[in-house]
Amino acid sequence: MTSSIKRAVAITAFVLVSAYAVVALRGPGGMSALGEKRREVQSLEEQNARLSREIQQKHDRIERLKNSTSEQELEIRRKLKLQRPGETTFILPEPPKTDSSSSK
């Protein structure tokens, strides 16, 4: 008799642990949440890589501006819209924006 009681207790414990595992894995903090967290981590890693590239490009540009007088002159002329004597600059108008909702 004691053997059957031990077996029933073991089976009941196994069923309870299995039920808890199923609820834990399928619940709001389970496998779906784990997948969502992985997607979020991947997205943040991609964003971090993009920002790192942007930072490196800006750092390189700053170094070029520090070390090259021609780059400095070009940047100053571009920012202040200056010209050298005899230079001609053409300023083109921006193309008109088309509104797709008004054409319907």
Instruction: Note the pTM of the prediction, 2 decimals.
Output: 0.53
Instruction: In whole angstroms, give the CA distance from residue 51 to residue 68.
Output: 25
By residue count, the chain amounts to: 104
What digits encode the pLDDT tens for the residues 22-43?
877 777 777 778 888 999 999 9
Whether 63 and 69 have beta carbons less than 8 Å apart is answered as no
49-64 residue pLDDT tens = 999 999 999 999 999 9
Predicted local distance difference test score (pLDDT) of residue 101: 58
Share of the chain above pLDDT 70, in %: 94
Residue given tokens 């920002």 in the structure block: 51
pLDDT of residue 48: 98
The DSSP 8-state label assigned to residue 24 in this structure reads: H
